[in-house]
Structure 1
Amino acid sequence: MARMMVTIIVVLCSFSVLILANTERIQRSSSLIIGSGIQQLRFHKKGEFRILQVADMHYADGRQTPCEDVLPEQFAHCSDLNTTFFIERMIQAEKPDLIVFTGDNIYGADTTDPVASMNAAFAPAVTSNIPWAAVLGNHDQESTLSREGVMRYIVGMKHTLSQFNPPGVGLIDGFGNYNLEVRGIEGSSYVNKSILNLYFLDSGDYSTVPSIPGYGWIKPSQQFWFQQTSMKLQNKSKAPGLAYFHIPLPEYASFDSSNFTGMKQEGISSASVNSGFFTTLVEAGDVKAVFTGHDHINDFCGQLTGIHLCYAGGFGYHAYGKAGWSRRARVVVVSLDKESNGSWGAVKSIKTWKRLDDEKLTAIDDQVLWSKTPSGNRRKKEHTAV
């Protein structure tokens, strides 16, 4: 009997530890509020909102999928599972409030079952119970599901905030144009206000105009939706915004090594025409930074006309890269200001860095993307994960 009682106590204690650990994670995040069937993002109690960007997973068939561009000693035991393990490590290290997948999430050409590939690719986000959002790249639809079908499946997955397209807008090009609002901390004067606006757009795959070769671009219908949405949000409050999509804008070619932070190791694979979306962003005035993928061995951030244009760097192992150049992910941390009464106010700063998939998840290239009182970009070449 005594032995049975000890066993019961041990089980109860173990169960309590699990509950406490899960409660601590929820309190740390405080980013997902469920009420009246609506999911809402919110800054957590420490005055931060943390976003993990995952670019170009190129997920295929899991353990059967070989890696590309890794060192010879890595190749024999490298597969899509390395991509999965990297996401899991990043979630543990950064404890993000939102995970954003910026396209080429699966590599359709090498995928025998796109649904199984998506389930495996997004599994770390789903099982973490962390809200996540996704846009499409140019390779997601190259298997047996159409581009529309891929986005419809993503929207139906657990814990995703992804949307097929904005409701009530009418016809709009692409699949996966939507915005998310991030509200202030519970108990603050910003509890019911969006103090950070996130925009997600489908940058297309390939040109459908015979006389224009190359990749797709953000179309006028999408730009009109963005303008209307930005105007509506700014009429409520002058909150800063961030934009996420897959294919870089032509303006990414404006930088050289003297005016960006990070590395540029390949050309800018934007559309061969300029649809004017960067000008649209500048005119709107709220977007402080744009985050893309597509060019896997570029990972720089450069500022142009008040907007930072940033790459994440390639994340996935079944994607081209550079042997010896670690796969990486970008983190963005948005911090709130403290008001005179001690409560949390509006956004004070937006910072970013990258983590490498090495032994220590080394963090590199800290920089300030925006602050209420501009003080220039703070740069640190390298430091070690804690």
Structure 2
Amino acid sequence: MCSCCRRPCHILLPLLLPLLPLLFLYPSAAPRVKRPAPLPLRFRYDGTFKILQVADMHFGNGLITRCRDVELSEAAWCSDLNTTRFLKRMIQAEDPDLVVFTGDNIFGSSATDAAESLFQAFRPVMESRTPWAAILGNHDQESTMTRGELMSFISLMDYSISQVNPSTVEPTKIDGFGNYDVTVKGAFGSELSNTSIFSLYFLDSGDREMVNGFKTYGYIKESQLAWLRRTSQELQANFQAPALAFFHIAIPEVRDLWFKEFIGHYQEGVACSSVNSGVLKSLVSMGDVKAVFLGHDHLNDFCGEIDGIWFCYGGGFGYHGYGRAHWPRRARVISASLRRGKRNWLGIEAIRTWKRLDDGKLSKIDDQVLWRDDEVEGLD
């Protein structure tokens, strides 16, 4: 007999057994603490630092969200889980030091619960315990969260180093959500191990805007550029470190690359704002940004140089985003390498990039050098 209720235990046990899994799923009602990324970020012992760019996952509701623009033979079984599988394969194959998600992480109109979709979309990188950073695109906020809520939620997820906005600026004095910088220190054992030798800038390019009565895409505002210029100046005062920038929507000047040399595929018109807010002018004046990495236009995966700065698309990553049936989904990898001195590692010697396709071999294409420094700073 069960002493608590005076009923035979063999009667109650069949009723209680189905509830046992809940004890493992929800062991307590205590709030869960975020698992922090190991900071600061730094170069490896072999003098390398690798970034995986994931552009436009367009995650919906997982298994029930169907793929777009795939082969007919794949359509019946293809879902968001293909995006998840691709992300897992890329993390395993490239073993990045940082994963950067450059917007449209979830496809708002298909995601019935933004928080749940974010958990599913980012689960592979959290399970890998790899530090990661994210910015927003123009579709993320179309579900159940505002842009501010999305960035706040993302910043609190395991191993995320994302920020809502810089702590040095009052929230009301900077436009957008997801403007922040991250620095990378030198390798352990080198004389630059406590010096920030690589700068990463993240900017919110917005979603939609009304300009002179017409709807256009969002753009980076002057308040963001003022913060960016000031931050760059402060960082360069300590060390002349090269930098990369990440934002979702391209600037108007990228359209001109159609008439210039580029590496990769330029397969659709650059969908940008009708407003030119002076982003290129600011980046050139700063002097440290060597390349910018974009999303938004899924069928573009090219790199082209404008005024000494490379602008590179990630290419469409997610299977619920539009694409082409005979054009594999893809991801971009960025690798920075240090110069070896007589006794230890010096500053960054070169920055390279390549792409991998979601095919049987994770084929590597378009390997190129974006920047090389013939006079590397550092002690020896």
TM over 0.5: yes
Letter in 1 for 2:284: V
Q: Does 1:304 align with 2:306?
A: yes
Distance 2:212 2:118 in 1: 31
Contact 2:264–2:302, Cα closer than 8 Å, also in 1: yes
1:325 aligns with 2:327: yes
CA distance in 1, matches of 2:182, 2:145: 26
Q: What aligned pairs does 1:177-192 form with structure 2 within 5 A after superposition?
A: 177-192=179-194
Pairwise CA RMSD = 1.3
Aligned to 1:363: 364
Match of 1:348 in 2: 349
* Aligned partner of residue 160 in structure 1, secondary structure: coil
Larger displacement relative to structure 2 (166-175 or 98-107): 166-175
Task: Report what 1:47 is aligned to.
Answer: 47
Separation in structure 2 between the aligned mates of residue 96 and residue 211 of structure 1, nearest angstrom? 44
Query: Structure 2 counterpart of 1:332, which letter?
Result: I
Superposed structure 1 runs of 4+ greater than 6 Å apart: none
Q: 1:345 to 1:226 in 2, by over 3 A?
A: same
Helix, strand or coil: the match of 1:101?
strand
**Rounded Cα–Cα distance in structure 1 between residues aligned with 2:340 and 2:282:** 32
| Counterpart residue number, 2:160 | 160
Q: Which runs of 5 or more residues in structure 2 are unaligned?
A: 1-35, 376-380
| TM alignment of 1:101-250, pairs within 5 A | 101-170=101-170, 171-250=173-252
CA displacement 1:339-370 (0-9 Å, x = unmatched): 122x1110000000000000000000010000
- CA distance in 2: counterparts of 1:47 and 1:178, whole angstroms: 25
The amino acid across from 2:199 in the alignment is: N
Contact preservation (8 Å) 1:58, 1:317: yes
Q: Deviations over 1:182-212 (max 9, x none)?
A: 0001111101111100000000000144534
| Contact 1:66-1:80 within 8 A present in 2 as well | yes
Judge conservation of contact 2:37–2:129 (CA < 8 Å) in 1. Answer: no
Equivalence for 1:373: 374
AA at the equivalent of 2:109: A
1:95 alignment partner in structure 2: 95
Other-structure match for 1:384: none
The amino acid of 2:49's aligned partner reads F
How big is each residue's C-alpha offset from its partner over 1:214-237, in whole Å with a ceiling of 9 and x where there is no partner?
100000000000000000000010
2:37–2:131 Cα contact (<8 Å) kept: no
Per-residue CA deviations over 1:304-361 (Å, capped at 9, x if unaligned) read 11100000000000000011100000000000001122x1110000000000000000
Q: Offset of 1:299 from its aligned partner?
A: 0.2
Larger Rg, first or second structure (1 or 2): 2
The question of whether the paired residues in 2 share the 8 Å contact of 1:212 and 1:272 is answered with no
Which moves more between the two structures, 245-254 or 224-233?
Answer: 245-254
- Post-superposition CA distance 1:66-102 (Å, at most 9, x none): 0000010010110000000000000011000000000
Q: TM-score of the superposition, structure 2-length normalised?
A: 0.87
Q: Which amino acid aligns with 2:348?
A: V
**CA deviations over 1:146-183 (Å, ceiling 9, x no partner):** 11111111011000000010003122000000000000
Segments of 5+ residues of structure 1 without an aligned counterpart are 1-31, 375-386
Contact 2:293/2:313 (<8 A) preserved: yes
Checking the alignment, whether the CA contact within 8 Å between 1:132 and 1:159 is kept in structure 2 is yes
Distance 1:245 1:41 in 2: 20
Report the TM-score when normalising by structure 1. 0.86
* 1:59 aligns to 2:52 (yes or no): no
Please report how far the alpha carbon of residue 33 of structure 1 lies from its aligned counterpart in structure 2 after TM superposition: 7.6
Cα offsets for 1:6-28 (capped at 9, x unmatched): xxxxxxxxxxxxxxxxxxxxxxx
Instruction: State how far apart, in whole Å, the 2-side matches of 1:208 and 1:296 are.
Output: 24
State how far apart, in whole Å, the 2-side matches of 1:287 and 1:113 are.
37
- Secondary structure of 1:228's counterpart equals helix
Q: How many residues align?
A: 338
CA displacement at 1:297 relative to structure 2: 0.3
Tell me which moved more, 317-326 or 252-261.
Answer: 252-261
